[in-house]
């Protein structure tokens, strides 16, 4: 249940900005995350192709994470979370090194949010590893037998 909740939360954290970036590219660029200081706009210039690609990538991760939450197949969960971490770790490193134009509160909020995503992803992997041999995991986090 905890793994499903964390996977769902991670899927939402990717789906919301992913859809926003795909459906309203300029608004995403100018106003993400909440309409105040636009964090993406602090790293100009606007590039429609980049915003579309970022949105599509986030949406793809959201789908993988949501399916992992739905199925709770151990291998699917591991693949989805590792793919998520392959995206979010370099994303976090980049933003950690590019905070010069950010107001302090926004820099802190951004870093806390990004690091929290990493922590949640690692927590899911720990849950899967910890519960690997238990009956609950065999039933809920491993592939179904044909």
Dump pLDDT digits (tens) for 68-117: 999 999 999 999 999 999 999 999 999 999 999 999 999 999 999 999 99
CA distance 110 to 141: 32
Does the structure show a pLDDT above 50 at 135?
no
- Here the contacts of 75-79 (C-beta below 8 Å, separation 24 or greater) are 75/142, 75/143, 77/3, 77/7, 77/124, 77/128, 77/141, 78/125, 78/128
CA distance 38 to 54: 16
CA distance 43 to 25: 15
Residue 53 structure tokens: 């690609």
- Global pTM? 0.88
Count the residues in the chain: 146
The residue-averaged pLDDT of 6-34 equals: 96
CA distance 79 to 69: 12
Q: What is the pLDDT of residue 5?
A: 97
């Amino acid at each position: 249940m905890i793994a499903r909740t964390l996977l769902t939360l991670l899927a939402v954290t990717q789906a919301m900005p992913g859809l926003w970036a795909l459906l309203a590219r300029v608004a995403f660029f100018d106003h993400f995350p909440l309409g105040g200081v636009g964090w993406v706009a602090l790293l100009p210039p606007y590039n429609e192709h980049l915003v579309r690609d970022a949105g599509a990538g986030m949406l793809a991760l959201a789908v993988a994470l949501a399916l992992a939450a739905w199925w709770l197949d151990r291998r699917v969960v591991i693949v989805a979370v590792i793919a998520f971490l392959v995206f979010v770790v370099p994303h976090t490193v980049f933003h950690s090194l590019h905070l010069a134009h950010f107001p302090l509160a926004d820099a802190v909020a951004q870093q806390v949010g990004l690091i929290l995503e990493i922590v949640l992803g690692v927590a899911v992997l720990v849950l899967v590893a910890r519960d690997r041999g238990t009956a609950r995991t065999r039933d809920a986090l491993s592939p179904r037998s044909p």
